[in-house]
Chain A
Amino acid sequence: MRLFIKRLSLFILFGLLSFFIFFISINSFLNTKADFKLDSNVKSLILGHSHPERAYNDTLIPFTKNLSGAAESYLYTLAKTRKIIEQNPQIKFVLIECSNNQFSREMDNWTWGNKMSNRLHIYSPFLKTNEIKLLFTKNPKLFIEATSVLFRKSFEKILSSNYNYTNKIGGYSWNDLKLEKAPETGNQIQSEFETSLTNINFLKKIISFLNSKKIEVFLIRTPTLKAYNNNYSENQYQKIIKSEFSHTEFLDLSKYNMNYSNYGDSQHMNGQGAKEFSLWFSKLLNKNLLKKKDKQLFINNEIKARTHNKVLW
């Protein structure tokens, strides 16, 4: 019995060590092989979660690539950004979505909650040791489950010799849903939300990384319907923007008014809405938005100037 327990413990130890070595090897192998190359004419990137993913149809916005991914928190955006910038030195501008919900506690769940298994297998090779440690300590059970998916997907990746990541890390997503009626706006009382310091810190890290690479960074806020915005206090949001990101330019596009029928739900534009909004946004870029002195004033004036100021929400 003693021999059995001794050998079993030794085997478990050997097994854990092998898993650890395998984890490191697979990550470093994929990190070396990963292909994040974009078209050489892409000069601007749009990053963020599902709001920009559904809003910026990059086929209508010249020299721009939308690489936003649904339900993506800033930790994974950071991992993505490092690799894209490393392999695409032509990038000059990065626009990062920064909407109210991205400061809320909900983002912690996006980072190490159930969504981890959908993210870790893509981004694990590009995460730093302390970032992996954070995920493990915050949710060891889900981390192990997500590692299982990572191993499986990596096997498949290696078997198919397909190391291209550009079509796996996000991109404009056509949404053909259509809201049938304007959603209820509720009692207009905007609720205070618990903040996610982790997500805020990772956003800061993205900005600081891009700054170190001499890339211009802009925080943007994509339009959503008022009914959705009521879920998160605007005052609290503005406070965070002013206190934590005062050195980064903030372009608030959320006042861009669109009929509810241009939305698939209260927070995501549908294909039709994205087309209209992207064409308008493209015009702004053509008018040198990113070089203007007072960009927000310019945006506000452009919004006002829109002729089809119809009934909105």
Chain B
Amino acid sequence: MGGGGEASVQIDEPVLRKLIRAVADTVIAHADELTTLDQAIGDGDHGINMKRGFEAVLADLDKIAVQPLPKALHALGMTLVMKVGGASGPLYGTLFMQLGKSLPEQPTLADLTAAVAAAVEAVKARGKSDVGSKTLLDVLAPVLAALREGGDLLHRLPEVADAAADATIPMRAVRGRASFLGDRSIGHIDPGARSSALLVRAVCEALRAVA
């Protein structure tokens, strides 16, 4: 990622491999936490499902990481679609596949911002949802806003994402199985918001390590 005052990172196979591994390792390490969150307001399988998906990504890492960034993101997204199960598979799969569709092989910050904007719209369409409904969009939208503002993004984005995930606690779910709980969904962090914040932090920390 280059431009906007950020240190420029050449996206090549070793970097891509590190990024994918960082994301997968983080999700797998937090699987129990995500499942516990989902037991509170969902059907209790978010951590298990995401772990299954990212284990499949790691199993295919050699095939995924040798491809240029757009194709690698498409392959990662397709693996999640096919392996995660539950609604989070198509939601995260759509997110990564849309990023793959939008990004060039060596993106600038402007490219990344435009791609995240397109991905947020794609996730909204896939989930028939919007910001404020206690979903992963409540993390992705503030992250997009922070990308547009610029600054020390690799440090700032994880903080924005964590704060946005915490901000889902008082929200009332209107999508997914949590919506059946009505007001009882209030008072818990949304599992999808939490997993999105974990992804953002993993990517930023991995980029900091290679920048």
Partners in one complex: no
Interface, chain B (partner A; CB < 8 A): none
Interface, chain A (partner B; CB < 8 A): none
